[in-house]
A = this chain, B = another copy of it.
Amino acid sequence: MTLTLDSIQSFHAPRRVLMGPGPSDMHPRVLTALGQPVIGHLDPAFAGMMEELKLLLRYAFQTENALTFPVSGPGSVGMETCFVNLVEPGDKVIVCRNGVFGGRMIENVERCGGVAVVVEDAWGEAVDPQKLEDALKAHPDAKVVAFVQAETSTGALSDAQTLIEIAHRHGCLSIVDAVTSLGGNPLRVDAWGADAVYSGSQKCLSCTPGLSPVTFGERALERLKNRKQKVQSWFMDLNLVLGYWDAAKRTYHHTAPINSLYALHESLLMLKEEGLEQAWARHQRHHLALRAGLEALGLGFVVKEEARLPQLNAVHVPAGIDEALVRRRLLEQFNLEIGAGLGPLAGKIWRFGLMGHSCREENVLLCLDALARTLAEQGHPADGAKSLQAARAAYAVPNA
C-alpha cells in the first residue's frame, strides 16, 4: 500500500522491552521529565537546571573538570567534537580499533586532516596495551591516543586506565569513547587522567537518545588554546560552546534541546540516588544471571570472561539458526528487542543489552524464557526451564 499524506495519523509507539545495544528503556520518571512544557534556553529556570545537570554529570564521570556538559547531538557528534577540537592537520593520532567505533574514529582523524596510525585487535577482543606501547615507540611524534572503553559492537571492555597511562607516558592526549560504559562499568575520569571523554544518553543512563555528555580536562584545554588553525566545525568549536555553558557568560550559541535536557537531568539524578558504584554492581549482578541463563541454553560468549562488558552480552548464533528470524520473532511475539551483529559479525552474533533501566531481573527472566521458546520453535534443543533455573541460581549467590 502506498503511503499517502492523507492516511497519516498520530503515531502510537509500541511498548517494547529494549535489550539491544541501546537505546535502553526509559524510566517513567525520565519520560515524565521529558514531557514537561518547554521553556526558553535563556530562561533563568533553565540556567539553574543546567548548573545542576553539569554537577550531576561530573559525578557520573567522576571528575572535577569545569568543561563537562552534554553536546546537543548523538554520541557521534560527541566523538566528532573531541576530534575536531584536539586534532589539527598533520597531527598523528594512534587509533585502537577492535570494533565499529574505532573505525569511525579513524574516519574522524582523517577528515580533520590528521594521520591515523591504527592499532588493530580482533573484533571481540580488548585493546592490547602492548600493541599501543609498540605503536607509540614506533611513532614518537604521535599527539593523541584514541580508543573505545566499551565496544558496543562486540561487548569487549578495554583497560582504559592502563591505555591512558601509556598514552601519557608517551606525551599523548587520550580521547576515550565511553558511550556504553558511562554508568554501566567503572570509569574514573580524574583518577585515570582521561583528557577528553564522550558518552551517549541512551545507553546506561537510560535517557532519550540525542545527547552526548562530554568532559575535557586541563591538558585538552591547553591543546585547544594552542591550536594553529580554527576548529573546522562551527557548531562543535569548544571555544564558542564554552561561552554558552559557562554560567557567568551564557552567550547565545544555539537553542539547546530543552526537553531532552530535562530528561537527562532526571536520569542523572536517579543514577546519583542509586549511587554510581551500586549501579556498576547492579549491571554486574544481572549480567552474571543472564550469562548463566544464556550458557544453559548452549550459547557461547564472543568475548572471553576477563574482558566482558556486563551491559553488552554478545553470543554466537548456534549453527542452523536463522538469526534474523529469531530477532523478528522476539520482537513480534514478546515485544523484546535484542541486537544483531555489525560488520564482520553480522549474521553471526546476537547482542543482549543490559543497560540502565533495562538492566533488571524481570527483563533477564523474560529474555531467557522468550529466547528459549523461540529457539525451540526453530528446532534448537533449548531447555528454558534449565536456563531460568541457572539465572535464578546466579541471583541467589550472596553479594553477586
Query: Which residues does A use to contact B, with CB under 8 Å?
Result: 3-5, 8-16, 18, 20, 22-23, 25-26, 29, 31-41, 43-45, 49, 51-52, 55-56, 59, 72-77, 80, 104, 107-108, 110-112, 200, 202, 208-210, 230-235, 252-260, 262-263, 265-266, 269, 272, 331, 337, 342
Given contacts A13-B37, A55-B5, A233-B233, contact A200 B255 (CB under 8 A): yes
* Bound CA span A12–B36, Å: 8
Query: What would be 29 A-B contacts, judged by CB atoms less than 8 Å apart?
Result: A3-B55, A5-B59, A8-B52, A10-B29, A10-B269, A11-B33, A12-B36, A13-B36, A13-B37, A13-B38, A13-B39, A16-B43, A22-B255, A23-B258, A25-B37, A31-B35, A34-B259, A38-B209, A43-B337, A73-B77, A73-B235, A74-B257, A76-B235, A76-B254, A80-B233, A80-B234, A80-B235, A111-B231, A232-B233
Q: Check if B26 sits within 8 Å of A38, measured CB to CB.
A: yes
With A and B bound together, what is the CA distance between A256 and B112 in angstroms?
24
Q: Are B255 and A257 in contact (CB under 8 A)?
A: no
- Max chain B C-beta neighbours (<10 A), residue from A15, A23, A25, A260: A23
Chain B positions within 8 Å of A23 at CB level: 38-41, 255, 258
B-side contacts of A73, CB under 8 Å: 72-73, 77, 235
Asked whether A25 lies within 8 Å of B43 as measured between CB atoms, the reply is no
Main secondary structure of the interface of A (DSSP, over half): loop
Report which of B16, B200, B235, B265 forms a contact with A40, defined as CB distance below 8 A.
Answer: B16
Q: Check B262 against A11 for contact (C-beta < 8 Å).
A: yes
B111 touches A45 (CB 8 A): no
**A39 to nearest B CB, angstroms?**
5
How far apart are the CA atoms of A202 and B39 in the complex, in Å?
Answer: 11
Residues on B with C-beta less than 8 A from A232 are 111-112, 232-233
A253 to B107, CA, bound (A): 13
CA of A265 to CA of B66, assembled, Å: 37
CA distance A23 to B73 in the complex (A): 17
Tell me how far the C-beta of A274 lies from the nearest C-beta in chain B, rounded to whole angstroms.
13
Q: Let me know if A52 and B257 touch, CB within 8 A.
A: no
Given contacts A18-B38, A80-B233, contact A260 B12 (CB under 8 A): no
Which 9 residue pairs are nearest across A and B when measured between Cβ atoms?
Answer: A210-B257, A35-B35, A13-B36, A73-B73, A208-B259, A76-B254, A209-B255, A74-B254, A11-B49
A230 → chain B closest CB, angstroms: 6
Give 11 new A-B contacts, CB below 8 A, not counting A23-B258, A73-B235, A108-B234.
Answer: A5-B55, A11-B265, A15-B37, A18-B38, A23-B38, A25-B38, A38-B208, A44-B331, A210-B210, A252-B342, A259-B260
Q: Decide: A34 near B34, CB < 8 A? Known: A104-B234, A234-B107.
A: yes
| B-side contacts of A200, CB under 8 Å | 255
A202's contact among B9, B38, B75, B262, by CB below 8 Å, is which? Answer: B38
Assess whether A35 is in contact with B32, with CB atoms less than 8 Å apart: yes
Inter-chain contacts of A257 with B (CB < 8 A): 74, 208-210, 257, 260
Interface centre among A34, A75, A235, A252 (most CB of B within 10 A): A235
Residues from chain B with a CB closer than 8 A to the CB of A230 are 110-111
With A202-B38, A256-B209 as given contacts, are A266 and B25 in contact (CB-CB < 8 Å)? Answer: no
